[in-house]
Structure 1
Amino acid sequence: MKINQSSRLKAQIEEEIATGALRPGERLDEASLAARFGVSRTPIREALQQLSIAGLIEHRRHRGAVVSAPDPKQLLEMFELMAEFEAICARLASRRMLVSDEVQLKKTLESCRLAAESGDTDAYYYENERFHQAIYTASGNTFVAEQAMALHKRLAPFRRLQLRVRNRMQTSFSEHKSIVEALTEGDGDLAASRAYAHVAVQGERFADLIASINRAAARQ
């Protein structure tokens, strides 16, 4: 029972981190969370331990558990690895994609288009997640897909913030479209390079992301 309850709480807190309701650097007080969710502190403590293992929170001296806010260097390194995972999955998918995978990929692409046109960054975030999952599945490599998804979740709060940068959502959809074109043409190198560029945050994009994180922290 406790395991189920702590897992449910983990999912709820994880969702709040991913949606920005809990911001990077924000303190997670066990007593406050227990009161808000109507549970004892034990399952809250277990949920926070699970989130710590996943890398979404960290324990700091004198502050306790806080939403993980990696320094810029570490964050850049994480995005670099994420970009490599994306490129690997895209290259494999270009060779191994089944008809059903292609149908799902195009379905998620259309959903991304509709969300982008609506201007709803929250809706686009979830459709974007499904789009990337479709590529991971199409790669046919379960291990790489699992690793990519784990890091994808770890970076969720920051990827979500990135979508709030002016015109990023529309640019993201255009990049999705170009990746799908390369995949359906079976061009592995092109699909990989486009997938890498889509996720990598360098130069102005990285500066914009750091600025967004700093603004979020200032609103606490």
Structure 2
Amino acid sequence: MAADKKGAGVTAAERVRAALEQDLLGGALTPGMRLDEMDLATRFAVSRTPVREALKALAAQNLVELRPHAGAFVAEPGGEALIEMFETMAELEAACASFAALRARPVDRAALLAAHEACVAATARGAMEAFLDANNRFHDAIAEAAGNRFLAEQTLALRRRLEPWRRRVTWRAGIMPQSNAEHAGIREAIEAGDGPLAARCARAHLDTLQRDALVLLRMMKKAG
């Protein structure tokens, strides 16, 4: 295939694949979403042939599912993949919390407290969307306080990929108060400058999400 004119030595299919991979890994494209060939061809100003090649390559990476007579869809992770992602997320969040305990500035501590209080207030109102927004700000504040931009970028990328599962789990009765209690433990450890404790609390928090996500996955498979 001829090289893409927009990048020397890069084929159109590879350019499309790389852009879609970034969207998939970054969470811009969510599990179960249909990927329309014509829409993608228009977006990338290419014919459908390189789009098909890109989708086949992404399917080989288990990022896209090609369904006969239905088209391409963003892959829904299975139980094993979900466990692996949450395990990785737990270690990333633990590293952020550990560094934050050592490096947090007064402005970081203030942001962490404000986000935690917003989570508690949203829980009292039963406002799930407000809770999810405050929850993201809480974890963003920890990543910012860690003082490591690369770690923060990797943590955010995986969090976005897991966002659909985090949202689904949040619907479970009692999850918001439980999450607030776990947030309080993380914040208190950071305030105390106790890195090992902050890391343990962060891991435990992600372990809870992982268990709930796996329960939800099993329920969805039974319903399907």
TM range (shorter): 0.7 to 0.9
Residue 188 of structure 2 is aligned to residue 208 of structure 1: no
SS of residue matched to 1:200: helix
Instruction: Note the alpha carbon deviations across 1:52-107, whole angstroms, 9 max, x for none.
Output: 7xx99624253433132011001101000000000000000000001111111111
Which residue pairs with 2:9 in the alignment?
Answer: none
Instruction: Note the alpha carbon deviations across 1:185-212, whole angstroms, 9 max, x for none.
Output: 1111111100011012588534423146
Q: Which among 129, 133, 136 is matched to residue 126 of structure 1?
A: 133
Report the structure number with the largest CA radius of gyration.
2
The separation in 2 between residues aligned to 1:202 and 1:176, in whole angstroms, is 13
Give the unaligned 5+ runs of structure 2: 1-18
- What does 1:125-204 correspond to in 2, within 5 Å? 125-201=132-208, 204=211
Among all aligned residue pairs of Structure 1 and Structure 2, give the percentage whose two residues are the same amino acid.
37
Residue 116 of structure 2 is aligned to residue 116 of structure 1: no
CA contact (8 A) 1:25 1:67 kept: yes
67-76 vs 89-98, which moves further: 67-76
Q: Alignment length, in residue pairs? A: 195
The separation in 2 between residues aligned to 1:138 and 1:193, in whole angstroms, is 17
CA-CA distance at 1:110 after TM superposition: 1.0
Letter in 1 for 2:34: R
SS of residue matched to 1:116: helix
Give the unaligned 5+ runs of structure 1: 1-5, 18-23, 35-39
The structure with higher relative contact order (CA 8 Å, sep 6+) is: 1
RMSD across aligned positions (CA): 3.5
Which residue pairs with 1:60 in the alignment?
Answer: 66
Alignment TM-score, normalising by the size of structure 2: 0.73
Alignment TM-score, normalising by the size of structure 1: 0.74
Letter in 1 for 2:157: A
Instruction: Note the alpha carbon deviations across 1:148-198, whole angstroms, 9 max, x for none.
Output: 111001111111111112211111111111111111011111111000110
